Chain A
Amino acid sequence: MLEVKSLRAGYGGTEVLRGLDLSVGAGEIVAVLGSNGVGKTTLNKVLSGVLRANDGEIRFDGKTLTGNSSADIVKAGLIHVPEGRKIFPNMSVRENLDLGSYRRGRDRRSVNLERVFDTFPRLRERSGQAAGTLSGGEQQMLAIGRGMMAEPRLLILDEPSLGLSPLLVEEMFALIRRLNGDGLPILLVEQNVVQSLECASRAYILENGIFALSGSAEQVRNDPDLKRAYLGM
């Protein structure tokens, strides 16, 4: 579904991504793992059209998306749930969800709203409340719910477990599996190596702007370098 070829990007003269190749197939969960400052957020920004790539190609569903605007990318169904949620704090939960279908899925807004509320009953309870007053976990649910409103054909989840309590982290990964169970391909960008590898089918390890390691989750999990670097074993 999503294919990235020799992608290069950065800010000003600083190159952050130095040639990335990545693919996400239909129905897959693919994890991009790495610690802070290796380029995960930059990769997401390029994929969602917020930042221009310097070189390389992004193809989604057989169409080239390189250099397209965020609006076009959303329209194509490549939906990015950003790190730090980036919900609209001054607006109600309901309005946040409405805006999820601003560019895509507008005709089926009410049907999708019910679906999101069924997935997150908590959001239904709080639909009139200002989004900025929600707890961190609820805000994360809202951010994902807002993404679901656009009927994603592929969902990019950027650090969905960041800042959540251990119990909520478990819940979040269960939710990711559940979303994927309905056939939705997911690109999971995470620092949480152990749990991400448990739910992903394949994984890429990002280090200093290149993929230092990639393969099936099984292979990656058993790689001696990864064990030493990320799992302290």
Chain B
Amino acid sequence: MSWRWFHQWGSPRWFYERAGRWQLVCGWLALILLVVGSLWGLGFAPVDYQQGNSYRIIYLHVPVAFLAQAMYAAMAVCAVVLFVWKMKLADVAMQAIAVTGLAFTVLSLVSGAVWGKPTWGTYWVWDARLTSMLILGFLYLGLIGLRAAIQDPDQAGKACGILVLVGVVNLPIIKYSVEWWNTLHQPASLKLTEKPTMPASMWMPLLVNILGYYIAAAYLVLGSMRAIVIGRERRASWVKELVGRA
């Protein structure tokens, strides 16, 4: 069996070129899905009998909240790959995901605050899910800060990897302890194991948007991974050639 498919991931140049093409595909796909899902959700989905039109922010809030948590898990996978196979690209991915994940966390907190004002009458309550999202934001921030403080990129990557792994073990404990501490949030709108509590005309566009946001996140992560690769390989001849051409 040829190991080429595996080893080529070690080549920054191969990744840079390939990721450019993937990014293009992801970008268009995300754009189409998000336009369809958002128009459908904002314009055509039925009005909620309790919350009126204000519930429509769900088509932004739920996907970004999903992603904010999923990206931490993705980072943990990258950390394992980094420690087991010493693959530098995994570290690049970790760095890219940390920033994107923080962006999604902030977006979900802000969209939640905007949604909270008409429904709960306040921008912020110390409710379980808001609090654990806030803590998640601090975890992302810590990773970015740790990386910025250590000069050697390899060393910074490994330090972040340790922190991510410790964090991912703790995250469920944090989540459940916060939930136990206080809960007043409406129960999750979409669960993989249960039938949704919304009618299909409401959750179908949500599903389209969730998919769209996931692909958009892949687009963003690939883009920032390419930028990081270029930055780290700035002394390599292929980068100099690339920059010279541009």
- A and B form one complex: no
